[in-house]
Structure 1
Amino acid sequence: MMAEFIVKAKDRKYEGLDENEKGWKGPFCFIQGADPQYGMIDDMSGKKPITWQAEIELTRKAIAAINRMKPKPKFFVVCGDLIHAMPDDNQKEEQEADFLKEFAKVDPSIPLVCVCGNHDIGNTPTRKSIQNFRNKFGDDYFGFWAGGVRCLVLNSQLYEDASKVQELKKEQDVWLEAELDAAKSSGCKHLLIFQHIPWFLNKPEEENEYFNIDLDIRMPMLDKFIAAGVNTIFCGHYHRNAGGSYKGMEEVVTSAMGCPLSQSPAGFEMGKQPSGLRVVKVHEKSISHQYYGMDDIPSTVDL
């Protein structure tokens, strides 16, 4: 029987990764992916009609590797742009259906955490586009516990353009303030953030561009995270590996599970960096991570 995708992120929590995961039980690993973005490879190649068999094959490689990994990852988080079609694209529902079909094959003992990206809810999201995401993939922002670590998933598009959903942005802001405040006294070993759009790509003070969040929003938020004790922020969106640090807090930008990019004088083109995943090792006092191409994902993680 075909596995069925089950939405587990509801009411700002994630079923199976909550109070029972508050305690530290020793080192563990988790997997971070980003931008499977079904349909982008054909789109970048100029092929018509656009299909996404290439992304499906990459997904199958990734999931096969994750399912056989020892020890089993504590969870698998996909940091946005699950599919390539925008909310008003007539291929959106078909791409979403194939994503749900393929990602339902993740071992059910490895929770799948889906983060929304700009292609999932639109560059200027609406109540309808956000509700569609919630219905199919789970809440667009929520928190969960994993092995004594507190994890917060954010809807980064609300920092990019919330012009049509100001009330929803305020709701996330209020929720996040409460979560950051609670984390200070929670006893968590680490406090992690997962989102799609990076606050910055390499340096916190870098200029505004398409792939980062504007400075006037970025710097106050980074200071807020520092004050709450956030250790690491994991992002996608850039389709290349990048990242940096701010006052000791690391931001990790992970390349695409689907189509990698590079920049040339003519604009963006398909990159030579392999499509892949990041394996993150969590120890009581440290976090380390490494990016692997799909053909090089280890079957055993040395903790």
Structure 2
Amino acid sequence: MTDTPLERRPRGACLARLAILADTHIRLPEDLPRAQWTANKLANDRSLRALEQIAAARPDCVLHMGDVVNPVPSDPSYPAVSRFAAGLMAPYGFEIQVAPGNHDVGDKLAFVTPAHGISEDSVALFEKLVRPNWSAFDVGPVRTLIINASLIGSGLPQEAAQWEWLEGELAASSDRRLFLATHYPVFMSRPDEGSLYDNIEPDGRARLLALLKHHAVEAVFAGHVHNFFHHILGPTEFHVLPSPSFVRQDYAELAPVAPDTAGGMEGGRNDTAKLGWAMVEIFEQGHVVHIHRSEQPQDAGQTRPARNAPKFHPEGQPGVHLRHAWAEPDTIPLNGPIEPFTRRRQRNDYPLLALQEMGARDVHIPLSDLDDPLYLQRVIDLGSLGFRFTCFSLGVPAPALAEKATALPCVSALEVILPWRTIADFTAPLADLREVWDRTLTVACTVSASDHREGGSETSYQVAFGFDHSEFDLLTQFHEQTGAALNLGYSFRLGESQDVLSHGRDIAGFAERLQLPAFMHVTLGGNHPGQIQRSEAQVTARVVEAAVLAKTTGLKVFLDRFTDTDRSYFPGFGLCDRLWNPRLPGRALAAVTRLLADQPAAELLSTDRIGTARVCRLSLGDRIVEFALPSDGDMPDGFAPLVADAPGLPGWRGLDTPAEITSLEATK
């Protein structure tokens, strides 16, 4: 096969589904009380819960990424716990392919490791008790190759045999799509990084990467780090998967706040929102990985195949404004037993996971991000996964920066923020920008105490951007005189006290009348610079209304804010908390976009009241969906919660037949 990058957007039918779990760390029941963390004591129960969820999902095949058991081969209990783990998994009725982990065969032979290293005896013992150390299996059109990653760089006789097998298998499968399964990630941050506890040794890694490139391997799956990471290198996606049992707490250093240890998080090891397993959908072209958070209750729409992920190129879903850093690595301090001698520079990919889950394909970032090589590469990578970027600039950007955006197909729009009092001064620079930028271009006004509006306060902590929905006359006049000739659109800001649906639909009507693009930024916080003014439930309702607006109008809607603001100015709740775990608003957004993703647009038939709840009725071709937004936590009868175990939050119901719809009219 060539090294041409694969098409990452899935096309055609889903031909097979592969369930993957990693790092179960099963122990003998009598050994559980001796575990040093509560999370480890729960590993068996959590592994069983994940297996039950996998069985209910009925995949075509199941793959375990290693560390099936917690005792290492040098532990006297290893044979017994290996047999116990096999018996624990047997009742579910599916064969489980296994990529041996370091707890299964011993650590890789690096300069120093926390436990005993791999040996000829441990390799033979794994093969005797569990499965072959390297093997291949087919799932749909894909050939998946399993390797023993601890062997790479070991110099053991089995290493040479594995290389010979791998190279032969790759050559023999030159006409097949290929996956690779390895317990250790091939790399964690950079392909040329040094030896770490969490990667394949450098010499063997270079050889392996050359093979992956030469044979255009579509995906590599790994475990070991008990956290989610995602990389792209050439034709290959590298998926590093979470564990259903516990989190590696050294990576909690990547969050800007400490885990709630007093609340049971054990320094991040018991951060249950990060536990999970993966379902890989394999299409005629391409694949999509869905992470199932196994310790989180099932929200609305999770029983259906998710089609809201950016890889599917969905339309009519809200985007997000990325205030916080999202592409640059942070430093993990020296800390044994994992890495007491080397500082690790690592990017946090939980923001990416949240964006994928919520269906936030459109992201709003500063144009200046493209001047940073790390951000630029990440924009390119995420663009290949279906993400679209709207880049904003305070002032008309320099030609070189605009040309950099022009070279990126995934940058779909530029948004120029200008002081409206002197807008006439920018006509010529905007015309020059139009010479290099032929995609969507919107203008937003600055918002502050010194802006163009009359009657403002003398001073204000509020500095923002975007027109108000009351400024249609001002914009109509400008558009007739200047904007139409430059093919401009306009960006609006929906303030803290403004109604998302009614004011948003007014903006959509304005854009439709003038036949121009319009963006709407929906603020989720309050208007006090030092106090939280909206509850999480109120933010959730606002997010659901924004999702309805995005699906039923031509507006591009951005939610501001993606994650909590818990310091600085204007604190409030976002879609995620500062550990990058989805909050109730984020989970509700994921549920709504899952429910509506099968159609690019919907028609808003009505907004009514049932009791104290606002009810939005949407038509999606042959079916009707209603969302109820209770103002007092009292959900109308017949509606199910969007977010499990949160009955006072917005709910939904699907109406599939005309008789069913007619019968409900009397309840209004």
Hey, what's the Cα distance between the residues in 1 that align with 2:200 and 2:68? 20
Per the alignment, do residues 54 and 98 of structure 1 end up closer, same or farther by CA in structure 2, a change over 3 Å counting?
farther
Hey, what's the Cα distance between the residues in 1 that align with 2:85 and 2:129? 10
Aligned twin of 2:525: none
Q: TM-score, normalised by structure 2?
A: 0.37
What amino acid does structure 1 have at the position aligned with 2:49? K
Hey, what's the Cα distance between the residues in 2 that align with 1:172 and 1:194? 14
Aligned twin of 1:89: 75
Gapped regions of structure 1 (runs ≥ 5): 1-23
Select which of 130, 133, 136 maps to 1:143: 136
Residue 170 (structure 2) pairs with residue 177 (structure 1): no
Per the alignment, do residues 300 and 167 of structure 1 end up closer, same or farther by CA in structure 2, a change over 3 Å counting?
same
Is the 8 Å Cα contact of residues 130 and 140 (structure 1) preserved in structure 2?
yes
1:41-95 Cα distance to aligned partner (Å, 9 max, x none)? 8776358xxx9651221122112111121xx211110101111111121332332
Aligned twin of 1:301: 305
Select which of 158, 161, 168 maps to 2:158: 168
Select which of 112, 127, 133 maps to 1:134: 127
1:138-166 Cα distance to aligned partner (Å, 9 max, x none)? 11101122212111000101115x24xx2
Hey, what's the Cα distance between the residues in 2 that align with 1:199 and 1:41? 31
Report the 3-state secondary structure (helix = DSSP H, G, I; strand = E; otherwise coil) of the residue aligned with 1:29: strand
Is the 8 Å Cα contact of residues 14 and 281 (structure 2) preserved in structure 1?
no
What amino acid does structure 2 have at the position aligned with 1:279? M
CA RMSD of aligned residues (A): 2.7
Is the 8 Å Cα contact of residues 26 and 147 (structure 1) preserved in structure 2?
no
What amino acid does structure 2 have at the position aligned with 1:173? W
Report the 3-state secondary structure (helix = DSSP H, G, I; strand = E; otherwise coil) of the residue aligned with 1:284: strand
Aligned twin of 1:246: 233
Is the 8 Å Cα contact of residues 25 and 148 (structure 1) preserved in structure 2?
no
Per the alignment, do residues 129 and 281 of structure 1 end up closer, same or farther by CA in structure 2, a change over 3 Å counting?
same
What amino acid does structure 2 have at the position aligned with 1:294? S
Per the alignment, do residues 43 and 122 of structure 1 end up closer, same or farther by CA in structure 2, a change over 3 Å counting?
farther
Aligned twin of 1:9: none
Hey, what's the Cα distance between the residues in 1 that align with 2:249 and 2:163? 34
Residue 84 (structure 2) pairs with residue 98 (structure 1): yes
Hey, what's the Cα distance between the residues in 2 that align with 1:275 and 1:90? 29
Q: CA deviation at 1:217?
A: 2.4
Residue 269 (structure 2) pairs with residue 270 (structure 1): yes
Is the 8 Å Cα contact of residues 32 and 41 (structure 2) preserved in structure 1?
no
Per the alignment, do residues 46 and 275 of structure 1 end up closer, same or farther by CA in structure 2, a change over 3 Å counting?
closer
Aligned twin of 1:114: 98
Is the 8 Å Cα contact of residues 198 and 235 (structure 1) preserved in structure 2?
yes
Q: TM-score, normalised by structure 1?
A: 0.79
1:235-272 Cα distance to aligned partner (Å, 9 max, x none)? 0011111131111311111011222112267xx86152
Aligned twin of 1:61: 49
Correspondence 1:35-50 to 2 at 5 A: 35-39=23-27, 45=36
Hey, what's the Cα distance between the residues in 2 that align with 1:59 and 1:203? 31
Aligned twin of 2:21: 33
Report the 3-state secondary structure (helix = DSSP H, G, I; strand = E; otherwise coil) of the residue aligned with 2:225: coil
Is the 8 Å Cα contact of residues 62 and 276 (structure 1) preserved in structure 2?
yes
Is the 8 Å Cα contact of residues 211 and 237 (structure 1) preserved in structure 2?
yes
**The 10-residue stretch of structure 1 (167-176 or 213-222) with the greater mean CA deviation from structure 2:** 213-222
